[in-house]
Structure 1
Amino acid sequence: MTGTPTRSRRARLAALAATAGVVLAGCTGGDDQAEETSTPEGPEGELTLLAQGPVDAWDPQRIVDRRTAGVASRLWMRTLTAYPPAEDAAGQRELTGDLATDTGTPNEDLTEWSFTLREGLTWQDGSPITCGDVRYGVSRAFAEDTGSGGYAVTYLDIPKRADGTSTYPGPYGSEGRSSDARKLIADAVECDGQTVTFNLGEPVATFDEIVSVPEFAPYEEAQDEQGDSAHLAFSSGPYMLEEDWTPSDGGTWVRNPEWSEGDDPLREAGPREIVHREGLEPEDALAALAEDDGTRSLMLDPLPPALADQREQLGQDARSVTGDGQLVEYLAPNMESDAFAKQDVRRAFALSTDRRGYVEALGGRDAGGAAWSLLPEILPSAHDAVMDAGPGGDPERAQELLTEAEEDEPVAVTVAYRSDTEGMDEAMQALADGWEAGGFEVTLEPVETDYYEQVGARRTADERDVVWANWGHDYPSAATVLPPLFDNRVNLTSTSLGRNYGQVADTELNEAMDEAGETRGDSARAEAWTEVDTELLRDGAYVPLRQTQVTYVAGSEVTGLGINAAYGGVPDLGSVGVRR
């Protein structure tokens, strides 16, 4: 990305990092997939959603995790653009105009994007959805108390202070209602009838995808007068809350009489009523499927591998679907470490990585599979392996590279990892065994608490040669993966590494990422990102480990069961139905 690095960008990365450890996603697939992606049956039935929860917020400008966004997008929240229900990754990433008539029109230098709202759109009370509602929703993303993802602050053409914070305070209070503040947001988000134009501070080729995230959803200003809006779901979609949402308990979604299927290219009328229960541990949710009314229930949380046997005991009383998760786990070699100063040493480390042992220790294929890139299948820039040594690694070739690098074996390295996950100690030991066979002397450093805070602190950066981490896309683009992890301009400061734990600082890399982010044409842009990632892997800048897998379980009367990777891997409620 071009432009001056800002603290707002780092804030967005921090917000994403806070959710990355718990958010899972996936691509469609699994034993029931061929049947489950059919058109919903029995739309007049009742569906029950079983979830551990709690949902932090339904307020669009407060939704920061992709799984919540996926549920909200299918039930009640519409955005300018969105991703459709589909059977495969290629279909799921086909961006579609949602509230907007199409996916937008940019100007020549990609600094202006215009979207025209569909005619006749209304909120659940029958009031029209206007360009002003879009502007007001975006304005809320600037308020301190929304906790928004930071895209609006980062990209809209609104001046920033020296510390990177926006000069626009959001729409609240006397400061936010001042004429100066109103002009700032009006100039950045222009309204001309039903056409909204976003003026950006830098070229952004994927802004049509960015406006699919919740912080760009419209919001009716009058709803801010209702008090605490954290769990207010004022609907523009097919469902609305029958009564207020109760955190840790849930609520009931009923049909929105003001929604019209003919004005919605993505959603169909599903079950008559959706009972959304929170507060259920996965084992309790699984047990509920075996009850008489559990046949029309769906678990919204992935099935833990430890409960696989209990799922099998349900037999034909349940059905399931398995697919890729959003998160990719990887290792970041410290480029400032003496141990990894040479490229061949970094490559040797990658070649001697035993992914098979790592995957098996963490639950086997039911929980994840070997990964060869940070770019999963749902991203158009996904590609084949660059340094494919096989799942078990190639320690002999690793030793040859160390010899060519004139390194005295063994090369001593310290590897930090997050140890509060079941099986992680064993998984890291499996990796250590492979590295030692490849010519390394490994010291494992388990970190139990405040993991990302500890490994991201500049003051301790030189204590570790390798850091374990994970990451997931915000929308289907490498732009939400590679720059947040490897662009030193938005990560490295005097006190923090951001999420750039390997301290990668490469001007040519930054320029290549800028060019990829500004490339017109989906295919050309995907190819540019593929090349960026390929060079990172060739350089040994990171070592991909595992692509997480998720399995969702539903009762026998649930139809259309599928996973949508574009929305963080939640079951796609746009295709789910019930037989009775």
Structure 2
Amino acid sequence: MDRLGGSCFIKEMTMNKKSYSILAVAVAGSMGLAACGGGSSDNKSGGSGAEGSGGTLYYLTKRPAEHLDPQRMYIGRDLSNLGRLTYRSLVQFPVTEDKAKADKPVADLATDTGKMSDGGKTWKFTIKDGVKWEDGKDITCADFKYGLSRTFATDVITGGPNYAIGFLDIPKKGDAPAYNGPYKKEGQAEFDKAVTCEGKTITYKFNKAWPDFNLAVASLRAFDPYRKDKDKGDKSNYAIFSNGPYKLQGTWKKGTGGTFVRNEHYDAKTDGVRKALPDKIEFKEGLTNEIINQRLIADGGKDKSAITDRAIPPSMYGQIKGDSQKRSVNVESPYVDYLVPNFNKMKNLKVRQALLAATNQDAWITAGGGDKAYAPSYSIINPALTTAYAKNPAFTDVPKGNIEKAKKLLEGVPASEKNIKFTYSGGTPTADKQAGAMKDNWEKAGFKVTLNGLTDTYYDVIQNPKADGDVFWGGWGSDWPSASTVIPALFDSRLNLTEKSNGQDYGNYKSDEVNKMIDEAAKKTSVDEAGEVYKQIDKKLGEDVAYIPLEIQKFYYLRGSKVTNYINNPATSMYPDLGAIGVSK
């Protein structure tokens, strides 16, 4: 799952526990024991009139949302927020701070957490009675089927997760599925065999076992329902048609934000998880990290009822004391930030090896705020994924860099191959300072570096295979607790690379050997067995310099003094959980 600088997908170090719970949940489903009724949580669902309800919550942020279309969303902040406010799915994660409960999906729009059969290759869910869209119409099985079909229209529905493309039992046409989505409808009959509706029951048929499918459903919005009559393709990118406790008032304006008010057709009795306490939630985009945190430190006016996903800048650490310290949290993330060489341009292995040797992770971390902001990283896989993690031997030089080794590798390399453009998510003093530190070290080795900090949207730029950068910054956290949501998502060229998009393979990396090993991992029947294969894949990626690890992100957040029931939920990636939070009057 993508991360944007300062706003990240976080699952505080609980993934090791989750990796064991995946198969347990799957087994329960296969035995027909997964029923969870209306769901459960530490807090009863609320809504208008519930204890602690009312008032306006303000959400202050910087980076504009790139996609609010459920099938196109892939940034953790937006998945978390919209999953609590407007988009319901078959299952969801509880509102809780209890790590032991946070990773167990509960029913949402479905009557239970799904029933698995055929060794994990078939899943069935039945939709509840009385669940409705914001216009009062019933949510149907056909809405779920149509929503998933949109993922296959890769020329229109871009930016979102592509797991369905690899898992659904649909024949291939060359390297791509025979089905190309609901707009062109080529191969529609094949999709109709893989996803079927019988009354209120939807059945998914996969080409390989997917025992943790319901975790994927709870984590992502790609499997959410979508009404066919509301679909305008690319023009639906910022259109929100709600089935959750809130609906968008008016329109969402990119760079400014929008306001959510109560959805009168939402019935809390069909939910059981979301408290939906504020009457209104106003999102404000376009504010700098410095301005946001200055306002939260001052704690005046409307800012007393404000929260943020933007980390406290290192230059302001000294101001966090007394009252503001009590209103702060510092949580560790499973998000790994990394660099990827653009294989469409940086084709020379020696040049990539020199780039790796000249990378000084310590300088990057220091420029970004030190140990309050980051922990060192030695792999694209977070250490919390214990079954798949090992320090990658390719990255032994990363902490300090090895300038002399880099210089030697660049001997005889044409000058044109030493000119590199570094594209990163910029626009903040901290990000620019980190990029500058990286440039200094690379240039000591003999590279000539141009910095290209993008200040508006980011991932939709670098997902273009024709993007002219030589090196890209990226940030990623597992979509659910398995390395299967890291390595294939980022480096399986069959899932990612098309004419118009590289998916999440931002460096346009393609390796038949890696793809074959990914298939081998997918055949394993346990997380532990698959983890051993992923360790070998990671080693190969290091040898190819398919990526360079930078750090593991940590977050330092403030909130206003009138914010109530504030929690950073492992289930919502340690973002402020909008399913719980209220404001005092």
Tell me what 1:48 maps to: 58
CA contact (8 A) 1:326 1:565 kept: no
Structure 1 residue 132: deviation in Å? 1.6
CA contact (8 A) 1:100 1:117 kept: yes
TM-score of the two chains, using structure 2 as the length reference: 0.72
The reply to whether residue 362 of structure 1 matches residue 362 of structure 2 is no
Structure 1 residue 218: deviation in Å? 0.8
Residues 1:57 and 1:233: Cα distance change in structure 2 (over 3 Å):
same
The reply to whether residue 218 of structure 1 matches residue 222 of structure 2 is no
Residues 1:100 and 1:382: Cα distance change in structure 2 (over 3 Å):
farther
Q: Distance in 2 between matches of 1:496 and 1:100?
A: 33
Aligned to 2:433, which of 401, 411, 423?
Answer: 423
Unaligned runs of 5+ in 2: 14-40, 45-50
Q: Distance in 2 between matches of 1:516 and 1:232?
A: 38
Aligned to 2:9, which of 18, 21, 25?
Answer: 25
Provide Cα deviations, 1:423-474, integer angstroms capped at 9, x if missing partner. Answer: 23442257559xx8xxxx553533527999899979999xx8xx56424136
Q: Distance in 2 between matches of 1:330 and 1:24?
A: 16
Residues 1:282 and 1:394: Cα distance change in structure 2 (over 3 Å):
closer
CA contact (8 A) 2:312 2:558 kept: yes
The reply to whether residue 141 of structure 1 matches residue 154 of structure 2 is no
Give the secondary structure class of the aligned counterpart of 2:450: strand
Q: Distance in 2 between matches of 1:245 and 1:459?
A: 28
The reply to whether residue 240 of structure 1 matches residue 252 of structure 2 is no
Tell me what 1:79 maps to: 89
Structure 1 residue 196: deviation in Å? 0.8
Structure 1 residue 415: deviation in Å? 8.6
Q: Distance in 1 between matches of 2:67 and 2:116?
A: 32
Residues 1:137 and 1:339: Cα distance change in structure 2 (over 3 Å):
closer
Residues 1:95 and 1:328: Cα distance change in structure 2 (over 3 Å):
farther
Q: Distance in 1 between matches of 2:246 and 2:130?
A: 18
Q: Distance in 2 between matches of 1:247 and 1:456?
A: 20
Residues 1:225 and 1:379: Cα distance change in structure 2 (over 3 Å):
same
Query: Superposition pairs for residues 29-40 of structure 1, below 5 Å?
Result: none
The reply to whether residue 448 of structure 1 matches residue 459 of structure 2 is no
Aligned to 1:190, which of 183, 196, 209?
Answer: 196
Q: Distance in 1 between matches of 2:8 and 2:133?
A: 30
Q: Distance in 2 between matches of 1:50 and 1:541?
A: 35
Tell me what 2:168 maps to: 156
Query: Superposition pairs for residues 472-487 of structure 1, below 5 Å?
Result: 472-473=476-477, 475-476=479-480, 477-487=482-492
Q: Distance in 1 between matches of 2:157 and 2:351?
A: 41
CA contact (8 A) 1:24 1:327 kept: no
Provide Cα deviations, 1:76-104, integer angstroms capped at 9, x if missing partner. Answer: 21122333444477755444443234443
Tell me what 2:277 maps to: 270
Q: Distance in 2 between matches of 1:504 and 1:567?
A: 32
Tell me what 2:306 maps to: 297
Residues 1:238 and 1:20: Cα distance change in structure 2 (over 3 Å):
same
Aligned pair count reads 527
Structure 1 residue 372: deviation in Å? 1.9
Tell me what 1:5 maps to: none
Counterpart residue type for residue 365 of structure 2: V
The reply to whether residue 326 of structure 1 matches residue 335 of structure 2 is yes
The reply to whether residue 549 of structure 1 matches residue 554 of structure 2 is yes
Tell me what 2:382 maps to: 376
CA contact (8 A) 2:333 2:552 kept: yes
Aligned to 1:559, which of 561, 564, 569?
Answer: 564
Q: Distance in 2 between matches of 1:227 and 1:298?
A: 31
Q: Distance in 2 between matches of 1:302 and 1:551?
A: 5
Residues 1:88 and 1:487: Cα distance change in structure 2 (over 3 Å):
farther
CA contact (8 A) 2:9 2:77 kept: yes
Residues 1:21 and 1:162: Cα distance change in structure 2 (over 3 Å):
farther
Provide Cα deviations, 1:217-275, integer angstroms capped at 9, x if missing partner. Answer: 11234444999644443332232335554554444333444444443354234334323
Tell me what 2:132 maps to: 122
Query: Superposition pairs for residues 300-319 of structure 1, below 5 Å?
Result: 300-308=309-317, 315=324, 318-319=327-328
Provide Cα deviations, 1:351-404, integer angstroms capped at 9, x if missing partner. Answer: 896432221023323432211221225646463535586985596xx99xx8xx
Tell me what 1:112 maps to: 122
Residues 1:502 and 1:134: Cα distance change in structure 2 (over 3 Å):
closer
CA contact (8 A) 2:334 2:553 kept: yes
Give the secondary structure class of the aligned counterpart of 2:71: helix
Structure 1 residue 559: deviation in Å? 3.2
Residues 1:113 and 1:527: Cα distance change in structure 2 (over 3 Å):
farther
Provide Cα deviations, 1:268-315, integer angstroms capped at 9, x if missing partner. Answer: 343343233344444443454332232111124344445545666983
Q: Distance in 2 between matches of 1:42 and 1:191?
A: 40
Residues 1:377 and 1:569: Cα distance change in structure 2 (over 3 Å):
farther
Tell me what 1:34 maps to: none
Tell me what 1:11 maps to: none
CA contact (8 A) 1:375 1:381 kept: no
Tell me what 2:350 maps to: 339
**Range with greater deviation from structure 2 (155-164 or 131-140):** 155-164
Percent identity of equivalent pairs: 28
What is the alpha-carbon root mean square deviation over aligned residues? Answer: 4.8
Q: Distance in 2 between matches of 1:300 and 1:541?
A: 30
Q: Distance in 2 between matches of 1:422 and 1:188?
A: 47
Residues 1:339 and 1:125: Cα distance change in structure 2 (over 3 Å):
closer
Give the secondary structure class of the aligned counterpart of 1:555: coil
Tell me what 1:513 maps to: 518
Q: Distance in 1 between matches of 2:407 and 2:397?
A: 26
Give the secondary structure class of the aligned counterpart of 1:547: strand
Q: Distance in 2 between matches of 1:77 and 1:446?
A: 41
CA contact (8 A) 1:325 1:550 kept: no
Tell me what 2:47 maps to: none
Q: Distance in 2 between matches of 1:226 and 1:429?
A: 40
Residues 1:105 and 1:314: Cα distance change in structure 2 (over 3 Å):
same
Provide Cα deviations, 1:22-79, integer angstroms capped at 9, x if missing partner. Answer: 86223449xxxxxxx9969833443222233543443323434332111100112112
Counterpart residue type for residue 52 of structure 2: G
Residues 1:99 and 1:61: Cα distance change in structure 2 (over 3 Å):
same
TM-score of the two chains, using structure 1 as the length reference: 0.72
Counterpart residue type for residue 550 of structure 1: F
